Amino acid sequence: MNFSLAALFQGARRALTEGVLPDTTSDHARAQLAGVLDILGKLEGMVVWSPQAQAQQLVALKHGCGAFAARAAEASEAVPAFTAVEGAGIDDELRAAEAQVMQLTNWLFDSSRVLDANVREELDAILRDAMREQLRVERKMIPLTDFASMTATKPTDADAR
């Protein structure tokens, strides 16, 4: 038996909702279970990565690499060439773009390379912006979780008095 991670989360949520929730009588336990169900639902959505998000990340990285190469060329510097992945899926293209960013980072911070300080700073900023944009796309895919209901203290008999 081989289930996807999304199906596993979905099954766990269904089992908890149908098998545990009806038998949970205390408000505290129901609040804890609601928090767990919320987290499982969000994890379920996160394990199946959106091809549109990956495409946005790819565009951000390719744009950054292109801007980096153009600025380096203005400074009469040649950077490592981008290795295109022909006929690859979005996963492979994104990994190749990430590898290119790492190549450019290594090139930029190679201690044997002598670059004008302003050029180095500009190139560094271009890479940081590209990586920040990639992370921004990724961050939009990760829903916020409200842990407040799960961290509330359990009422005691003394609280009821």
Q: Domain count for the chain, please give it.
A: 2
Query: 1 pLDDT band (50/70/90 cuts)?
Result: very low
Whether residue 66 sits in one domain with residue 39: no
Give the Cα separation of 40 and 32 in Å (integer).
12
Segments forming the whole domain that contains residue 36 = 5-48
Whether residue 135 sits in one domain with residue 63: yes
In a domain, 21, yes or no: yes
Whether residue 60 sits in one domain with residue 136: yes
Q: Is the pLDDT of residue 152 over 90?
A: no
In a domain, 159, yes or no: no
Whether residue 87 sits in one domain with residue 18: no
**Alpha helices per DSSP H over 109-156:** 117-140, 148-151
Q: Rounding to the nearest 10 degrees, give the CA dihedral for residues 19, 22, 26, 32.
A: 50
In a domain, 149, yes or no: no
Q: Mean pLDDT over residues 141-150, rounded? A: 65
Instruction: List pLDDT tens digits, range 98-131.
Output: 999 999 999 999 999 999 999 999 999 999 999 9
Query: 65 pLDDT band (50/70/90 cuts)?
Result: very high
- In terms of average pLDDT, the best of 3-17, 57-71, 137-151 is 57-71
